[in-house]
Amino acid sequence: MNENWEQLLFPYQQAAKEWKVKLRGMRKEFQVRGEHSPIEFVTSRIKSIPSIEEKMQRRHITAERLTEDMEDLCGLRIMCPFLDDVSDVVQLLRRRNDVEIVSERDYVNNEKESGYRSYHIVFRYPLQLLDGEREILVEIQVRTLAMNFWATLEHSLNYKHPGEFPEDVHQRLQAASETAFKLDEEMSQIHHELSNAEAQQDQADDKGEK
Ligand code: 0O2
């Protein structure tokens, strides 16, 4: 990486590290409390230089406007076990006072044409640097394990065959996304039923003890 890129991307690398600690801390806090954690695991990435250059061209973003107009230089992903956990994580992020949310995109309820589903949140984060505070943009994508399975494989297929998929492949990928969503709904339903049964059993046990 040349020196200019290294200097430009350093704050984003630092923010990614700090946010991984914060998000993993949230998961741990649920575990310590003995509660279900809506966070299964967290990953992060700094946008690759070829991907930055491609997006600058495609979106007509100038070098001067780069850090303001490219919102996903620092990206984190939160993978959730169940469908309801996605909105719970979004609520948790909205309640924090160390971020100022700039935009939200709900591709969970409004899936993209490709079949992609995920909830995207962009926020400003005040990063402490040697010269003082600097606000930088961070993007978090929140998705279920099933959505992540689909997006990861679709991305790797697209990487090998860049550009548009043939129409039949496009339709099969959309159908596969629908199957993944049905799996999410079924697993959430099972989770609800088991949680309700457990709560009823606890109530019955409490009454029995009195
Ligand atoms: P990377 O890691 O950045 O190279 P744009 O970024 O211009 O494409 P926009 O509006 O800024 O679009 O963002 P959008 O579409 O809300 O989110 C872009 C990111 O969402 C992508 O980043 C992917 O991580 C994910 N994404 C969006 N659509 C799809 C899709 O159809 N399939 C998959 N697998 N992922 C998708 P990059 O740029 O691909 O990744």
According to the model, what pLDDT value does residue 210 have? 65
What pLDDT is stored for residue 1 in this prediction?
66
Across residues 92-105, what is the average pLDDT?
A: 96
Residue 149 has pLDDT above 80, yes or no: yes
Average pLDDT over residues 146-162: 89
155 C-beta closer than 6 A to ligand 1: yes
Order across the sheet with 74-80: list the strands: 41-46, 74-80, 132-144, 119-129, 100-106
DSSP code for 107 = T
Residue 171 scores a pLDDT above 90? yes
Is the pLDDT at 199 greater than 80, yes or no?
A: yes
C-alpha of residue 72 to centroid of ligand 1, in Å: 9
- Quickly state the pLDDT bin for 163 (edges 50, 70, 90): confident
Nearest CA to ligand 1 atom 13: 72
Ligand 1: centre distance to CA 33 (Å): 35
Residue 164 has what DSSP assignment? Answer: P
pLDDT value at position 2? Answer: 78
pLDDT of residue 3: 78
What is the DSSP secondary-structure string of 28-89?
Answer: HHHHHTT---S--EEEEEEPPHHHHHHHHHHTT--TTTHHHH-TTSEEEEEEESSHHHHHHH
Band (pLDDT 50/70/90 cuts) for residue 208 is confident
**Amino acid residing at 163:** G
Residue nearest to atom 1 of ligand 1 (CA): 47
pTM over 0.90: yes
Write down the pLDDT at residue 160.
65
Residue type at position 99: V
Contact 73, 61 (CB under 8 A): no
In the chain, what are the domain boundaries? 3-194
126: left (phi over 0), alpha (psi -120 to 50) or beta: beta
ipTM of this complex prediction, to 2 decimal places: 0.92
pLDDT digits (tens, 9 = 90+) for 13-39: 999 999 999 999 999 999 999 999 999
Average pLDDT, the chain: 94
For the domain covering 3-194, report its CATH number.
Answer: 3.30.460.10
The rounded Å distance from CA 120 to ligand 1 centre is 10
Average pLDDT of the segment spanning 194-210: 84
Q: What is the pLDDT of residue 203?
A: 85
